[in-house]
């Protein structure tokens, strides 16, 4: 289109020049017309030149675009070939994987082989058991890795009531650095954080619905590793062969197929706590037999942090309260008469004599008056009036009465943790019953 316009303009210019030649150069209008046309032609020539340059640039860009497009097409074709090759390789991999899985399935270990592997792992895990010795009782503990820390898991009842604890780590040596102390809600279970290196640390089994007749391993009463079977259980405990619940408190129970820690032997929280069973030695000691259960660890447990010193003091307070209660019962059993104090009197509700308790407190300010009463009765009992007798006996019992009353008030005002709360309530009930018996007896004088 530009070329056609140029031709026309040139024709106009040629035609315009002819009259000028004919008429001469004196015509001013013609000159102006010529100059104007010359300017237009010059402007058109510049535009033509610019348009021609743009055309060449466009042609150059087009050539570059064609080259880039060809290169891109080559890359697409290469990527397509590589994708097709990868798909073929993936298919070959799938085939090899399926073949390997089929081969593995054919070679799956038997149940006996799995149990043998677990047994070997359990033997190695026995090094994760520690001994916790207190001044009143001893119990086993387990080094466990949980919640990104290392802990000693044990039966809370096994450490309660002690004034101090000494923990011997696997292979010997004492553990000395500890952190947080926590008790489990609703279970006879406590844990103490370890702040030093100790191995091995047991791993708790993953939560699962345990099949009946599942094989488990634990310790018998000789602390030998034995096998037992699960035959039932609840969310927080397991029913297992009785040999495992006759083993040591705080002992481990391992999953028979994985070798992981499944539970720990502890006291059942619903077990009735006997007043007179402990009085045989006046010590808190581990109880064996049917009162022990396997507490499951493969579950969600609610932990409550507290000072271990406060926990131990709570146990000591309960033990001391029960000792006083037994002492009151022993005082009731002596039944003084004109011949003296009957220290061999049998304590109601137990197979013990009063002397079994009182002899341990013969120098106590609460008990000493009874021994003085015995001497007075043996010397003057047959000659004393009934009024003097009653007054003397009441005086001998006055100290134990006032001591028990003060102790009962102080004990009842204590705020016990969840683990000790029911035991404390039971101790308080026992105390009130004993004080009533003593009051009833003194009321007959």
**Tens-place pLDDT, residues 349-402:** 898 999 999 998 888 899 999 999 999 999 998 888 999 989 999 999 999 999
Q: What percent of the chain has pLDDT over 90?
A: 47
Beta bridge partners of 337: 340
For 117-160, what is each residue's pLDDT tens digit? 777 778 777 888 999 999 999 999 999 999 999 999 999 999 99
Listed in sequence order, the residues at least 6 apart from 39 whose beta carbon sits closer than 8 Å to its beta carbon are none
Higher per-residue confidence, 215 vs 9: 215
- Tokens 């004109």 map to which residue? 338
168 exposure class (CB count in 10 Å sphere: 0-12, 13-18, 19+): middle
| Token pair recorded at residue 426 | 């039971």
| Token pair recorded at residue 92 | 């070959």
Instruction: Count other Cβ atoms within 10 Å, centred on residue 278.
Output: 18
Per-residue model confidence (pLDDT) at position 439: 94
Per-residue model confidence (pLDDT) at position 287: 40
Q: What is the pTM of this model?
A: 0.69
Integer Cα distance of 329 and 350 in angstroms? 10
Integer Cα distance of 358 and 356 in angstroms? 6
* Averaged pLDDT, 307-329: 95
Integer Cα distance of 217 and 229 in angstroms? 8
Q: Quick check: 183 and 190 in contact, CB under 8 A?
A: yes
Q: Quick check: 262 and 214 in contact, CB under 8 A?
A: no
Beta bridge partners of 294: 238, 265
Integer Cα distance of 377 and 393 in angstroms? 9
Q: Check whether 169 has a pLDDT greater than 50.
A: yes
């Amino acid at each position: 289109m530009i070329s056609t316009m140029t031709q026309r303009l040139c024709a106009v210019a040629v035609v315009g020049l002819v009259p000028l030649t004919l008429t001469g150069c004196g015509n001013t209008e013609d000159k102006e017309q010529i100059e104007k046309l010359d300017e237009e032609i010059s402007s058109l020539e510049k535009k033509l030149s610019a348009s021609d340059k743009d055309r060449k640039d466009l042609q150059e860009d087009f050539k570059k675009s064609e080259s880039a497009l060809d290169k891109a097409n080559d890359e697409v074709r290469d990527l397509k070939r590589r994708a097709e090759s990868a798909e073929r390789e993936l298919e070959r991999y799938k085939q090899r994987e399926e073949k390997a899985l089929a081969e593995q399935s054919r070679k799956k270990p038997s149940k006996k082989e799995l149990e043998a592997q677990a047994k070997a792992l359990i033997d190695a895990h026995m090094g994760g058991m520690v001994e916790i010795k207190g001044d009143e009782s001893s119990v086993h503990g387990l080094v466990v890795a949980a919640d990104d820390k290392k802990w000693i898991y044990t039966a809370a009842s096994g450490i309660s009531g002690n004034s101090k604890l000494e923990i011997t780590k696997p292979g010997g040596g004492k553990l000395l650095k500890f952190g947080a102390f926590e008790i489990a809600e609703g279970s006879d279970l406590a844990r103490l954080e370890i702040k030093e290196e100790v191995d091995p640390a047991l791993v708790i089994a993953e939560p699962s619905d345990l099949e009946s007749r599942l094989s488990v391993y634990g310790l018998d009463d000789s602390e030998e590793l034995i096998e037992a079977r699960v035959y039932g259980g609840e969310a927080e405990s397991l029913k297992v062969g009785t040999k495992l619940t006759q083993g040591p408190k705080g002992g481990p129970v391992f999953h028979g197929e994985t070798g992981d820690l499944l539970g720990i032997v502890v006291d059942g929280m619903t077990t009735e706590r006997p007043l007179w069973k402990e009085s045989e030695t006046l010590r808190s000691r581990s109880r064996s037999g049917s009162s022990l259960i396997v507490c499951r660890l493969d579950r969600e447990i609610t932990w409550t942090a507290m000072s271990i010193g406060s926990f131990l003091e709570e146990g000591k307070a309960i033990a001391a309260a029960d000792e006083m209660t037994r002492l009151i019962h022993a005082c009731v059993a002596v039944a003084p008469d004109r011949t003296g104090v009957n220290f061999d009197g049998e304590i109601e509700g137990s197979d013990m004599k009063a002397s079994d308790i009182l002899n341990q407190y013969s120098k106590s300010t609460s008990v000493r008056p009874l021994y003085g009463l015995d001497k007075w009765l043996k010397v003057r009992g047959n000659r004393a009036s009934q009024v003097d007798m009653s007054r003397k006996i009441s005086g001998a019992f006055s100290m134990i009465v006032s001591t028990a009353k003060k102790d009962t008030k102080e004990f009842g005002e204590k705020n016990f943790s969840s683990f000790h709360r029911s035991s404390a309530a039971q101790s308080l009930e026992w105390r009130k019953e004993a004080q009533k018996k003593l009051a009833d007896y003194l009321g007959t004088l």
